[in-house]
């Protein structure tokens, strides 16, 4: 049961974050620029997050989707720690916990 809940929360989280990043508001673009990425970086990031969510929906590709999602979160955690932008760590921590629960509950 916890496995299923954590998977669907991950799917919703990655899909929502992907749409948000792909839309790329000026605030989001400002974050990417401040972190040293091009202003358009939200579009490929959002695309990868949406792909991760889609892969997690399908049992045959769930592990690949979770691995892609974990890689995305690892890069983001590294980025925000490197730039001391600690306000982003709370939601990232949620993703880390959900990925761990989904990976260990199967």
Contact present, 37 and 24 (Cβ < 8 Å): no
Q: What is the pLDDT of residues 18-73, one digit of tens each?
A: 999 999 899 999 999 999 999 999 999 999 999 999 999 999 999 999 999 999 99
Task: State yes or no: pLDDT of 2 exceeds 70.
Answer: no
Structural domain for 75, as ranges: 2-104
pTM above 0.95, yes or no: no
**Average pLDDT for 2-16:** 92
- The structural domain count of the chain equals 1
Task: State yes or no: pLDDT of 105 exceeds 80.
Answer: no
Task: State yes or no: pLDDT of 92 exceeds 90.
Answer: yes
Task: State yes or no: pLDDT of 106 exceeds 60.
Answer: no
What pLDDT score was predicted for residue 30?
Answer: 93
The closest of 103, 96, 7, 3 to 57, measured between CA atoms, is 7
């Amino acid at each position: 049961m916890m496995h299923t809940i954590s998977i669907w929360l991950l799917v919703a989280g990655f899909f929502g974050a992907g749409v948000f990043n792909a839309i790329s508001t000026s605030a989001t673009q400002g974050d990417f620029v401040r972190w040293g990425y091009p202003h358009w970086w939200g579009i490929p990031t959002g695309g990868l997050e949406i792909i991760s969510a889609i892969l997690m929906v399908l049992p045959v590709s769930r592990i690949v989707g979770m691995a892609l999602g974990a890689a995305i979160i690892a890069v983001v955690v590294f980025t925000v720690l490197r730039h001391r932008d600690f306000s982003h760590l709370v939601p990232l921590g949620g993703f880390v916990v959900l990925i761990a629960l989904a990976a260990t509950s199967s």
